Amino acid sequence: MKITDAVHRVDGAGKLKGETKYIEDMHFDNMLYAKTLRSKIAKGRITNIEYPELPKEIFIIDAEDMPANNEVAIIERDMPVFAKDAVRYLGEPIALVVGEDKDAILKYMSKIKIEYAEEEPVCDLSQAAKKPDHIMTERAYEKGNLSEIEYDEKVTEIFETTYQEQLYMEKQGVVGTVEEGVVTVYGSLQCPYYALGALKHAMGMDETKLRVIQTPTGGAFGGKEEYPSLLACQVAAAAYKLKRPVRLVLDRREDMAYTTKRHPSKMVITSYIKDKKVLGMDFDIMLDAGSYLGLSDVVMQRAIFTMTGGYKIANLKMRGRTVRTNNVFTGAFRGFGAPQSMYALELHMSHLAKHLGEDPLKFRRRHYVKRGDLTATNGRFNEEIYLDRLTDLLENMSGYKEAVSKKRILAGYGVSVVPHGGGFTGDGEAVHIKAVVKLKKESNGRVTILVSNVEMGQGAITTLSKIVAIVLEMDMDRVGYETPDTFKVPDSGPTVASRTTMVVGALLARAAAKLKNRMHEPGEVIITEHFKQPDYVKWNAETLQGNAYMAYSWSVLLARVEVDPVSYEVKCTDIWGAYDVGVPIDEKLLIGQIQGGMVQGLGYAIMENMTSKAGGIEQFTFSSYPIPTTMDVPKLHAEWIINPYQDGPFGAKSVGELTLVGVAPAVAAAIEDAIGIITSEIPVTPEVIERSLV
């Protein structure tokens, strides 16, 4: 078997039969249900909470019940587990109401009276950004000397993006229990060790008294990266106090209205052009972080470090800011800042090409980076980059030249070219994550993978098992995967940043190569591997100079749309994608990621319109927040080149996030091409089109 050959997913049959037990399907003896008591205002002080007399079997868990700290440790510790005196966003948790009967909990909750001293919330991103104390973090870097370049003209544009909700099909859910003196949290989550870290701080106990076990996760897309840390602290405190299992599964409306989603952004981009080439670029992005920092600073960094995409631009000035508002707390979502900045960059590049009277791909080709070039942050692109080859592939597979020359009325084409860096930014893998993996040969000759990276639909179990099986030249069904359980698996880092295959898979491949020589030994053999930073990665976290990422994957996309001249409804008929992900570990899993990312990106481009009014998310049901259905999906065409990456397992690079990032700018450009407008915001809804025509 070749590494790229498709196999049946390890977890497929159990899911099809409905046998896989997700958190809401699991049974715990003597279990209590929890429901979150939430703030009804966006900003203010809590002056009084009147709890009616507690009936038997109804319990309140609040800030007073946190054994050590009423703080959720993410990067900062600015977010409380339960709001105590002040509330900073609508829906902020104040307490858990816990009981045996769900109806009794709701009945009791309806009688709780909370009095607030309301304050004026700050909900508008631009207004908030004018207040110095609302800038949570700011980062900037420069390259060359933008102020001294000579240019023919400069073009400035402003772009805006709104929220996108992950809308995983399985809602957020956790169960806290106390098992033999150990506070244990089971949950639908991406990062068991993030949750463990938060628990240590909140509970004041160490990892021998705290345990996190991941349960089969019904989609996550970043939405179950940092948010479950909050839920874990809440149920851990409840279970610790009540000494019974406590289950908190959010209602879908709560999940949509109050959990993290993609950051709304405002971006200003200016290009300095000479001889039809971009010589310099100024880019400024601000992100609505909501009330607490969470991962927003890291999201903002990826937004500015992914600039300037696939293009070599000698003079740059880049700035990013995270802005505090009283809107919902925003966070990780597939692409992690890059969907915003690449939407702006790529639609801007299409606008520049049009302005200069050039084909958008031909214009882009003149700027393409190649191996050895300086990155935006003055690192060196270390691996071979084949953007011309990818563009050729795209043009051939889509019949690009003929298609655009024979364009029909009300039909349009748009392109994008984007990279995505695999793994953590800069030296993050070596300095912050320090991944450790283990591979265990059992005495019966079977091999078990011990990592903290979870299966959430992307195919991690299958991918990692396949890597190990092929290195060991054994059947995949003799390779097992231990449930991510902090009592059993080492900390190989979070399941984020498209790092599972590229980084963790590489460590497992190395471990398997070592184990191969020891398979004949009797009894158990355990191989442990630690992440080592490749020599070519040089990064200065203070100056933001060096290699922002170890290696980049690439996509070149073409979208075709048709626009209804009466209703302005957009039908995306085709998306073509040419990809460089190194060597795909499994062609079917790659296709699954590509198609899923394309469609989620299409939702971001034209359908998924989530807005906030006075701090409250306005679309918190499936019916008010439509995502693509079977009727909305275009024909999806994907091809790829093989370009082995020296430090990836079998040459693999990252996949998951890349597939979403380039879709919105390509689709937006196609709509513009179809109907002759210029847009500056997504989603491009019929209303946006109508406004653009005026």
Question: Which residues are near other proteins by CB under 8 A?
Answer: 6, 8-9, 11-22, 24-25, 27, 166-171, 216-221, 251-253, 456-459, 588-589, 591-592, 594-600, 621-623, 627-631, 633, 636
- Between 61 and 667, CB nearer to other proteins: 667
CB of 162 to other proteins, least distance (A): 18
- Between 296 and 600, CB nearer to other proteins: 600
CB of 252 to other proteins, least distance (A): 5
How deeply is 621 buried, as exposed, middle or buried, from its count of CB atoms within 10 A (0-12, 13-18, 19+)? exposed
H-helix or E-strand containing 271? Answer: strand 265-274
- Between 566 and 631, CB nearer to other proteins: 631
CB atoms within 10 A of CB 75: 14
- Between 7 and 94, CB nearer to other proteins: 7
Are 234 and 248 a contacting pair, CB within 8 Å?
Answer: yes
The CA distance from 229 to 329, in Å, is 13
Q: What are residue 412's DSSP bridge partners?
A: 561
CB of 603 to other proteins, least distance (A): 9
Are 34 and 239 a contacting pair, CB within 8 Å?
Answer: no
Q: What are residue 440's DSSP bridge partners?
A: 448, 526
Q: What are residue 311's DSSP bridge partners?
A: 368
The CA distance from 145 to 322, in Å, is 25
- Between 44 and 459, CB nearer to other proteins: 459
- Between 325 and 659, CB nearer to other proteins: 659
CB of 339 to other proteins, least distance (A): 16
CB of 451 to other proteins, least distance (A): 19
CB of 158 to other proteins, least distance (A): 31
In the 8-state DSSP scheme, what is residue 410? T
The CA distance from 287 to 563, in Å, is 31
Question: Which residue type occupies 53?
Answer: E
- Between 143 and 224, CB nearer to other proteins: 224
- Between 361 and 572, CB nearer to other proteins: 572
CB of 666 to other proteins, least distance (A): 15
How deeply is 443 buried, as exposed, middle or buried, from its count of CB atoms within 10 A (0-12, 13-18, 19+)? exposed
**Using N-to-C axis directions, what is the helix angle for 338-355 and 663-675, rounded to 10°?**
30
Residues with Cβ within 8 Å of 530's Cβ and at least 6 positions away in sequence, in order, are: 434, 435, 436, 507
The CA distance from 673 to 413, in Å, is 6
| SS3 at position 190 | coil
CB of 463 to other proteins, least distance (A): 12
- Between 385 and 606, CB nearer to other proteins: 606
Question: Which residue type occupies 248?
Answer: L
- Between 169 and 566, CB nearer to other proteins: 169
CB of 100 to other proteins, least distance (A): 13
Of 266, 148, 264, 167, which is closest to residue 224 (Cα–Cα)?
A: 167
- Between 75 and 109, CB nearer to other proteins: 109
- Between 141 and 579, CB nearer to other proteins: 579
- Between 154 and 588, CB nearer to other proteins: 588
H-helix or E-strand containing 285? Answer: strand 277-290
CB of 95 to other proteins, least distance (A): 23
Residues with Cβ within 8 Å of 57's Cβ and at least 6 positions away in sequence, in order, are: 99, 100, 101, 104
For the CA atoms of the chain, what is the radius of gyration? Answer: 25
CB of 662 to other proteins, least distance (A): 15
**For residue 308, cis peptide bond before it (omega within 30 degrees of 0):** yes
- Between 218 and 309, CB nearer to other proteins: 218
The CA distance from 242 to 403, in Å, is 66
Q: Half-sphere exposure (CA, 13 Å, Cβ side) for 528?
A: 7
CB of 194 to other proteins, least distance (A): 20
CB of 228 to other proteins, least distance (A): 15
CB of 694 to other proteins, least distance (A): 33
Burial code of 593-613, b = ≥16 C-beta within 10 A, e = fewer?
A: bbbbbbbbbbbbbbbbbbebe
Of 47, 498, 24, which is closest to residue 216 (Cα–Cα)?
A: 24
Residues with Cβ within 8 Å of 604's Cβ and at least 6 positions away in sequence, in order, are: 164, 262, 339, 660, 663, 664, 682, 683
CB of 25 to other proteins, least distance (A): 4
Question: Which residue type occupies 587?
Answer: E
Of 294, 182, 317, 273, which is closest to residue 228 (Cα–Cα)?
A: 294
- Between 578 and 589, CB nearer to other proteins: 589
The CA distance from 68 to 201, in Å, is 7
H-helix or E-strand containing 528? Answer: strand 525-530
Runs of H (alpha helix) within 359-480: 360-365, 387-398, 400-405, 428, 460-472
- Between 168 and 258, CB nearer to other proteins: 168
The CA distance from 414 to 557, in Å, is 8
CB of 301 to other proteins, least distance (A): 27
